[in-house]
A and B are shown apart, each in its own frame.
Chain A
Amino acid sequence: MIDKIRKILERVENVSDWIIIKDIRKSTEIFLIKDKVDMNRACNFEEYRVRVFVDFEENGKKFKGDSNVMIGVSDTENEIEEKIKEAVFAAGFVKNDWYDLPEKEEGDYVEIKSFETNKDLKDKFEELHTVIYKDYNYQAEVNSCELFAIEDLNRVVTSKGVDVEYPKSEFSFEIVTDSNIGKEPVEIFNGYYLTNLDLVEIEKIVDKQLMETEGRSKAVRNKKLENMRVIISNEAVEEFLHFYLQQASDSSIYQKISKAKIGENFQKADAKQKLTFKINPALATSIDARPVDGEGKKLSEYNLYKDGVVEHLVTSSKFSHYLGVENKGMCTTFEVEAGDVPVSEYKKGNYLEVYAFSAFLMDGTTGDFGGEFRLAKLVEDGKESYVTGGSISENIFKVQNTMMFSKEKAIRRNSVTPQAIIFDGLTIAGE
């Protein structure tokens, strides 16, 4: 199919450059209600995203327009040609200042490990079922569960000579847990994304979620709290830290919606926790690890921030050219250096540790963040209780110079980062 598309691209007029991204997917899916098997599904598809570029000049100024089309494996040659011609026609009106696409680079690309998640889900379903539904000794149980084993094969081919193929393996699952021991029944639901069917890891996840669900069943409505130490230690940590990636992106800087400047401190010089943030395309624990970006730029490891100073940016060919900075590629997998103090040290006085937000919101432009929490542990004067229904509304620029990172690290969907972030002096809304 790639050859067929390539030949069409070569014969259609006005195509200056092109990128073809192939995605072949094979998935196995099982849906359970309580511990009973409901539907089983499979999905197989083959798709191609084709981006065409048209270079043109107006009044002596060079432009590069582009447009995208989606091509399915069942599309006829005539349909493909028609779609590409329409895309080329539209690209001719897209007046973006000229830039160039990444050339093929020598050297090895980062290697992405693949797993046979489809086979594993079929072969290990019995064991997996046991891990999910066994008795964990909590007054909470699994309400329902959805299991997805996905194997992708991606290939990026460009007019600049890039031709890189890499796999993507995913075992993801959504699990709903509930408890009926409190005044009202409660539930917690979460989605988890692993690169393979790791029974040990899944056991830890189920255990933690059941523990938190039992906690929520005992939780009382949160009262308003002032000047509080707040610890976030769940998925919100990754979303919070992702703000720094958005700010240090060439597009945000070009759009003037970022405060990051290469070589300058993003935090105050006396920030309690200086940020060291590394881009790592080969992050083995992430389902989004990859050797090239969507334009065929070879990806490698580098520091985005070092001790709070912006060292490099995440970039695309267009905006890096406009800003006159090196194109490092677009990569969303990262690592953040941990702090020096174990989280237990931060729990010696009063604090509120949020275990589950309804939905943690982080605005990549304004820095506003927060959300309602479904479960948190409140420790006040040595007395522990579970609380629910409170909410936090803060701004990252206000708190980033006083926040602290735990010494412990945690693996999440796209990152390895400090397990917990500690904020002092926050107000928590409540009844």
Chain B
Amino acid sequence: MRKLKTSNFLLDNKEKLKQIVSELGKEFDYVSILGTDVKGQKYTVSTASTNVSPSSDEERGFVVRVYQDCGYTEYSFNKINVEDIILTVKKLALEDRAKMIKDKNLVEYPRKPEDSPMEKVFIQEIENLPEDNNPEEIIDKLTFIHDSIKKDFEKIVHMAVSYSYTQVNKIFISKNRDLYQSYMFSNGFAVAVASDGEKTKNDFISSSNMGGVELIEDVEKTAPEVAKRAEELLLSEKVISGEYDIICDPDFTGLIAHEAFGHGAEMDMFVKKRAKGVEYVNKRVASDKVVMHDGAKAAEECSSYLFDDEGNLGKDTVIIDNGILKNGMCDELSALILGIEATGNGKRESYKRKAYTRMTNTFFDAGEDSLEDMIASIDKGYLLEGFSSGMEDPKNWGIQCVASKGREIVDGKLTGKVVSPVYLTGYVPDLLESITMVSPGLELSGSGYCGKGWKEWVKTSTGGSYIKAKGQLS
């Protein structure tokens, strides 16, 4: 294992960042700067072409936050000129803001952000450093995987396999804090499109790790499975809508954890009175079988870090404990208004965007029931596998989660019949309270991104194990 190389860009500019904090500190009660240098590469080999592109998370820039008695102002930039930055921040925070707020009410913050002294550095150690990656070897390996699938599966008309790595370097400087972190995650995808001339169906399997190019081995393992699944979908039928006993695979369980309840526990929603969860703290929202976590320290997956984008350390927050809603997750500014401690969940899409309360690694704990017993316990229902998308509804606790497919279960046995796509809808507490069985074997997936409403995409991971519940399918 070797340590990642740190960012020269961030460390070479550190003194300038300190100078900005110091100068602005003369005028403002609180000043912080987050610097980001995120880089990486994505390699894709598909039936149509081969592509090499930067990681979709690539960014390099800074965001300054200042606080004074009339509230918060931020300035995002990627050109470092200390004098210009100080002038711009003062203009934004003093002149522009004064004009804007004139006779309007302001959101009031009872205190300035937590800024207790802290100096910490985290530099991840990994097996394969990105600078040792050989593009030729990566492309050759992905081409081999692609070609094997195309040879072995005749109905696969299009296959794409990809590997990407992203090294995240961040620095956070305030009057009393000096934090630095370098970590890396990798994502792999195998996507197959099957056609029988009439119908076209697709499926994907993703993989992720907090590491490097060794992940391609996972892509190689999952590629035949995804091809098989895509071909199987050609025989799928439409589900007859109705309420069924369902078993969710770990991917779909993770989607439920994230969409159905995770968004509702984001406490900036509590501040705006947009979350029904605020009325349910210390009340039952799920069956006894449900324990749900979120946190950068709750697991080692793509959303694990030392500190968040507001300079708060990542934690392991128990959201639901044996069915009872215990805590939400919280960014710094929402925590100030709510009078609680931030949980290290303040995340930005990039230095260009505002920080919000965001999920990190969100999952249901594993249980002790076997998948076989779950299947055997169902007279008529479906085993839901994979996911294509989901949408939150924190105010009303509605659910929309879409599974790639459902496998029919009749009289305690899988019949071999497949339905697709499958929409799971309904009311979150009804679904969570109906969970009667949870299997061992927690699995997390960090290949996805999470939006806040329609925007602000950030890296998250989700997971769980097999769960049995009741759900409205269509």
Contacts and interface: CB of A to CB of B under 8 A. Distances in A.
Interface string B36-60: 0000010000111111111000101
B423 interface: yes
Given A70-B54, A256-B158, A429-B242, 11 more contacts: A33-B271, A41-B74, A72-B61, A94-B51, A174-B453, A186-B396, A363-B388, A366-B199, A389-B398, A390-B425, A392-B474
B76 A42 contact: yes
B454 A122 contact: no
A266 to B, nearest CB: 14
27 contacts: A28-B96, A37-B100, A38-B106, A44-B76, A44-B88, A70-B54, A70-B60, A73-B79, A74-B60, A74-B79, A74-B80, A87-B52, A90-B52, A122-B100, A178-B274, A178-B395, A185-B396, A187-B274, A224-B241, A358-B391, A359-B400, A374-B396, A389-B398, A391-B425, A393-B239, A393-B423, A393-B474
A40 B73 CA distance: 5
B423 A40 contact: no
Contact of A359 (B101, B391, B472): B391
B135 interface: yes
Contacts of A390: 425
A143 B104 contact: no
Interface residues of B, number: 84
Contacts of A255: 46-48, 157-158, 193
B435 interface: no
A251 interface: yes
Nearest to A87: B52
B415 interface: no
A354 to B, nearest CB: 13
Interface of B: 9, 41, 46-54, 58, 60-61, 71-80, 88, 92-93, 96-97, 99-102, 104-107, 135-136, 139-140, 157-158, 193, 195, 199-202, 238-239, 241-242, 271-274, 276, 333, 352-354, 388-391, 393, 395-396, 398-400, 402, 421, 423, 425-427, 453-455, 472-474
A94 B201 CA distance: 28
Contacts of B48: 251, 254-255, 319
Given A38-B107, A67-B52, A122-B100, A365 B193 contact: yes
A207 interface: no
A122 B96 contact: yes
Q: How large is the interface on A (under 10, 10 to 19, 20 to 34, 35 or more residues)?
A: 35 or more
A359 B389 contact: yes
Contacts of A67: 52-53
A326 interface: no
A318 to B, nearest CB: 7
A429 B425 contact: yes
Contacts of B193: 255-257, 365
Among all A-B residue pairs, the 4 with the closest Cβ atoms: A429-B474, A429-B241, A359-B391, A43-B76
A374 B398 contact: yes
Contact of A39 (B41, B73, B201, B202): B73
A72 B60 contact: yes
Given A74-B60, A174-B455, A366-B202, A93 B139 contact: yes
A203 interface: no
B422 to A, nearest CB: 8
B95 to A, nearest CB: 10
A16 interface: no
Interface string A34-68: 01111111111111000000000000000001111
Interface in A209-259: 224, 251, 254-257, 259
A164 B333 CA distance: 43
A91 interface: yes
Contacts of B99: 122, 125
A256 B272 contact: no
A89 interface: yes
Contact of B400 (A95, A178, A358): A358
Contact of B454 (A46, A174, A178, A391): A174
A184 B396 contact: yes
B136 A93 contact: yes
A144 B274 contact: yes
Contacts of B454: 174, 190-191
Given A29-B354, A36-B104, A37-B101, A143 B76 contact: no
Given A93-B136, A125-B100, A36 B107 contact: yes
Interface string A352-376: 0000001101010111101110100
Given A40-B92, A96-B50, A370 B423 contact: yes
B99, B140, B241, B390 interface centre (most CB from chain A within 10 Å): B241
A128 B242 CA distance: 46
Contacts of B54: 68-70
Contacts of A370: 423, 474
